[in-house]
């Protein structure tokens, strides 16, 4: 049985008391000087007076740092609790600017490094690699979500790109550091976690056991996590020393309350234990449900289409079902990458694994589609990436993803940016509905098969028709979400095709079908003439 809900941290040393004012500041009794009430301990707990936390979608340390920087510009923007709901124009400019700056600092360098490593690995010329880099940086879904819907996903994606680039460069220890950074920034990077683990473990066991490398990877990973949590622990120690309380409505994290022993609030380690337990609880948000809003994955399609209503089942049962189906979908690509750790297989394995998570896992949001899109778009920088078949599949996934995001984008009044960005990207890549160049090439010349062409063009035609109907035909009164449900069902089916294509291409790249056998350590691909 766990302890009662905490009310405050117990300091080990007596200090002069601090008083909280109604203006969101803390006043020291001795000097009456003011400082912002911005305690680090508050960030992993739901916002005051609400059942959910809007802040937890970003790393606690980043929020704290941005709050400190913003407080230097305008303190009223970041008064703890009191600033909630602020609609100041200057604050909006500051927030949007932080997204742009973070993208230039992390995402763009990561993209450049990753595309450069792929180009070297596959002997891709500078022109084709430049096109691939442009397509990656101009991904409409990423721009619409991060700069329209306002997110910081490119930071997590940038760390992931740096991790992939390190794998391709033969620097697994750096890949551990960068991927831990991606995980720490946004837990959505867990979509890639098993693929990363499969490759790093694979290069330790294939072609022979390499114990020093295995130990080095384990030590660097643990050290990276320790550094990641260190600011939180230091902040907890500082706030404990100042006797800063947790939010008054804070409850015991489920992980801590389920411990088989009772933890005393007076124990010196209690503040650190409860913060770590709450952090883990927020990283795995099982309490938020199977899916959020209407997202184009398997569970939402089954539920909203009326095929089977999932709200009749216990959340624990649904979480186990999601876990089982997710493991079934990601085991094939991860197993291939573990037993045949070829560098050329990394983008395919990452894409297939991320698609498996997106389609089948628990608590999926619309923006999670950015995760499989990233490694799939990287395929443009691989051998044959600019051929019609690969270009068509990569473009199909990106444009379909943007289309499934449309109901979310409408809420943010992003109709015009949606049509402009997707149209420009489709024209740049020679894809429907503005160009059909990728679909005029025959299969013998590197184009799609007849079946793939029919499927793609059928989906594109349905997407265009859906936009016309959504704009001009109101849904029935008894089915107000009919058009959104149709969007979800078609999107889930299309993403299922993308998963199968990535998995099939991974099998082809592994050499199993051609009988090439296991790869050499590091998985170097053979050099080809340009």
pLDDT tens, 62-87? 777 787 888 888 887 877 666 666 77
| Distance spanning both ends of the chain, measured CA to CA | 67
Give domain status of residue 79, yes or no.
no
- How far is it, in rounded angstroms, from Cα 455 to Cα 411? 30
The encoded tokens of residue 438 equal 């990728």
Residue 516 has a pLDDT of 57
- Using DSSP, state whether 517 is helix, strand or coil: coil
Segment 12-59, tens digit of pLDDT? 344 443 443 333 333 333 333 344 445 555 555 555 544 444 445 556
Q: Is the model's pLDDT at 161 over the cut of 60? A: yes
- For CA atoms 301, 145, 74, 89, give the dihedral sign: negative
Helix (H) / strand (E) containing 167: helix 153-168
| Nearest alpha-carbon partner for 350 in 152, 145, 161 | 161
Comparison of pLDDT for 325 and 151, the residue scoring more: 325
162 close to 191: Cβ distance less than 8 angstroms: no
Residue 249 has a pLDDT of 62
| Nearest alpha-carbon partner for 396 in 503, 509, 501 | 501
384: left (phi over 0), alpha (psi -120 to 50) or beta: left
Average pLDDT value for residue range 91-107: 91
Residue 45 has a pLDDT of 58
DSSP state of 242: T
Exposure string (b/e) for 334-351, b if CB count within 10 Å is 16 or more?
bebbbebbbbbbbbbbbb
Q: Is the model's pLDDT at 364 over the cut of 60? A: yes
Segment 313-336, tens digit of pLDDT? 777 788 889 999 999 999 999 999
Q: Kind of pairing, strands 34-36 and 25-28?
A: antiparallel
Q: Is the model's pLDDT at 380 over the cut of 80? A: yes
Average pLDDT value for residue range 215-239: 89
Residues forming beta bridges with residue 85, ordered by sequence position: none
**Of the given ranges (180-194, 263-277, 283-297), which has the lowest mean pLDDT?**
283-297
Residues forming beta bridges with residue 20, ordered by sequence position: 26
Long-range Cβ pairs for the range 272-275 (8 Å, 24+): 272/233, 272/236, 272/237, 274/6, 274/246, 275/41, 275/44, 275/232, 275/233, 275/236
Backbone torsions φ then ψ of 517, nearest 5 degrees: 80, -175
- How far is it, in rounded angstroms, from Cα 480 to Cα 220? 52
On the CB side of 361, how many CA atoms lie within 13 Å of its CA? 21
3-state secondary structure 410-477: HHCCCHHHHHHHHHHHHHHHCCCCCCCHHHCCCHHHCCCCHHHHHHHHHHHHHHHHHHHHHHHCCCCC
Segment 406-435, tens digit of pLDDT? 999 999 999 999 999 999 999 999 999 888
- Using DSSP, state whether 199 is helix, strand or coil: helix
Residue 464 has a pLDDT of 96
Residue 4 has a pLDDT of 40
- Using DSSP, state whether 11 is helix, strand or coil: coil
Q: Is the model's pLDDT at 112 over the cut of 60? A: yes
Give domain status of residue 254, yes or no.
no
Tell me if the bond preceding 290 is cis, omega within 30° of 0: no
Segment 238-274, tens digit of pLDDT? 878 878 776 666 677 777 777 777 777 778 888 888 8
Q: Which residues contact 167 (CB under 8 A, 6 or more apart)?
A: 175, 199, 200, 343, 346
**Of the given ranges (129-138, 211-220, 301-310, 415-424), which has the lowest mean pLDDT?**
301-310
Sheet with 25-28, strands from edge to edge, namely: 18-20, 25-28, 34-36
The encoded tokens of residue 173 equal 């220890």
Query: What is the percent of the chain with per-residue pLDDT over 90, rounded to a whole number?
Result: 53
Average pLDDT for the chain: 83
Q: Is the model's pLDDT at 140 over the cut of 70? A: yes
Q: Which residues contact 17 (CB under 8 A, 6 or more apart)?
A: 29, 243
Average pLDDT value for residue range 348-359: 97
Count of other CB atoms within 10 angstroms of residue 453: 19
Residue 169 has a pLDDT of 96
Q: How far, CA to CA in Å, does 113 sit from each of 164, 167, 307, 390?
A: 9, 11, 45, 22
Range of the domain at 449: 91-209+287-510
Q: Is the model's pLDDT at 395 over the cut of 80? A: yes
| Nearest alpha-carbon partner for 406 in 366, 348, 358, 447 | 366
Residue 318 has a pLDDT of 84
Query: What is the percent of the chain with per-residue pLDDT over 70, rounded to a whole number?
Result: 81
Comparison of pLDDT for 287 and 521, the residue scoring more: 287
- How far is it, in rounded angstroms, from Cα 24 to Cα 50? 18
Q: How far, CA to CA in Å, does 412 sit from each of 148, 405, 409, 481?
A: 7, 11, 5, 18
The encoded tokens of residue 23 equal 């203006």
Q: Is the model's pLDDT at 338 over the cut of 90? A: yes
**Of the given ranges (23-32, 122-131, 399-408), which has the lowest mean pLDDT?**
23-32
> What's the alpha-carbon Rg for the chain, to the nearest Å?
25
Total domain count, the chain: 1
Q: Is the model's pLDDT at 187 over the cut of 60? A: yes
333 close to 349: Cβ distance less than 8 angstroms: yes
Count of other CB atoms within 10 angstroms of residue 405: 27
Residues forming beta bridges with residue 360, ordered by sequence position: none
Residue 294 has a pLDDT of 81
pTM for this one? 0.85
Comparison of pLDDT for 287 and 34, the residue scoring more: 287
Residue 39 has a pLDDT of 55
Backbone torsions φ then ψ of 25, nearest 5 degrees: -120, 165
3-state secondary structure 321-360: HHHHHHHHHHHHHHHHHHHCCCHHHHHHHHHHHHHHHHHH
| Most confident listed range (165-169, 263-267, 271-275, 293-297) | 165-169
- How far is it, in rounded angstroms, from Cα 82 to Cα 24? 7
Comparison of pLDDT for 242 and 205, the residue scoring more: 205
- How far is it, in rounded angstroms, from Cα 133 to Cα 161? 12
- Residue holding tokens 């979509």? 191
Give domain status of residue 501, yes or no.
yes
506 close to 349: Cβ distance less than 8 angstroms: yes
- Residue holding tokens 């109709």? 415
């Amino acid at each position: 049985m766990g302890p009662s809900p905490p009310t405050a941290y117990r300091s080990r040393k007596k200090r002069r008391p601090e008083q909280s004012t109604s203006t969101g500041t803390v006043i020291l009794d001795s000097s009456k000087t003011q400082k912002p009430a911005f305690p680090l301990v508050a960030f992993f707990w739901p916002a005051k007076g609400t059942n959910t936390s809007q802040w937890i979608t970003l790393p606690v340390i980043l929020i704290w740092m941005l709050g400190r920087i913003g407080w230097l510009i305008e303190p009223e923007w970041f008064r703890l609790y009191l600033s909630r709901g602020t609609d100041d124009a200057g604050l909006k400019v500051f927030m949007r600017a932080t997204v742009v700056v973070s993208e230039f600092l992390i995402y763009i360098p990561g993209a450049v490094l990753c595309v450069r490593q792929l180009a070297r690995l596959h002997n891709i010329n500078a022109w084709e690699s430049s096109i691939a880099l442009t397509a990656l940086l101009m991904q409409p879904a990423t721009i619409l979500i991060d700069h329209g819907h306002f997110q910081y996903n490119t930071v997590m994606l940038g760390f992931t790109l740096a991790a992939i680039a390190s794998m391709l460069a033969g620097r697994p220890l750096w890949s551990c550091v960068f991927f831990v950074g991606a995980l720490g920034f946004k837990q959505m990077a867990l979509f890639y976690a098993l693929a990363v683990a499969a490759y790093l473990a694979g290069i330790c066991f294939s072609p022979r056991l390499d114990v020093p490398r295995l130990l080095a990877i384990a030590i660097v990973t643990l050290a990276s996590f320790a550094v990641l949590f260190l600011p939180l622990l230091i902040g907890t120690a500082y706030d404990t020393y100042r006797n800063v309380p947790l939010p008054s409505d804070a409850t015991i994290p489920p992980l801590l309350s389920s411990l088989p022993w009772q933890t005393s609030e007076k124990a010196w380690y209690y503040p650190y234990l409860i913060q770590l337990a709450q952090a883990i609880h927020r990283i795995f948000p099982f309490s938020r449900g199977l899916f959020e809003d209407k997202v184009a994955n398997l569970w939402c399609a089954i539920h909203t289409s009326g095929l089977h209503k999932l709200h009749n089942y216990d959340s624990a049962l649904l979480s186990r079902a999601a876990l089982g189906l997710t493991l079934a979908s990601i085991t094939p690509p991860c197993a291939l990458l573990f037993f045949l750790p070829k560098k050329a297989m990394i983008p395919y394995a990452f894409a297939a694994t991320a698609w498996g998570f997106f389609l089948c896992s628990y608590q999926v949001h619309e923006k999670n589609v950015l995760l499989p899109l990233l490694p799939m778009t990287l395929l443009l920088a691989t051998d044959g990436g600019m051929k019609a078949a690969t270009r068509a599949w990569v473009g199909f996934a990106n444009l379909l993803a943007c289309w499934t995001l449309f109901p979310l984008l409408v809420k943010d009044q992003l109709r015009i940016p949606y049509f402009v960005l997707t149209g420009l990207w489709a024209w740049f890549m020679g894809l429907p509905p503005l160009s059909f160049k990728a679909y005029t090439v025959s299969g013998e010349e590197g184009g799609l098969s007849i079946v793939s062409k029919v499927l793609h063009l059928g989906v594109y035609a349905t997407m265009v028709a859906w936009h016309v109907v959504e704009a001009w035909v109101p849904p029935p009164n008894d089915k107000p979400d009919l058009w959104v449900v149709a969007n979800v069902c078609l999107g889930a089916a299309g993403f299922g095709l993308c998963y199968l294509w990535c998995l099939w291409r991974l099998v082809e790249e592994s050499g199993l079908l051609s009988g090439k056998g296991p790869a050499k350590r590091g998985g170097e691909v053979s050099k080809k003439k340009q």
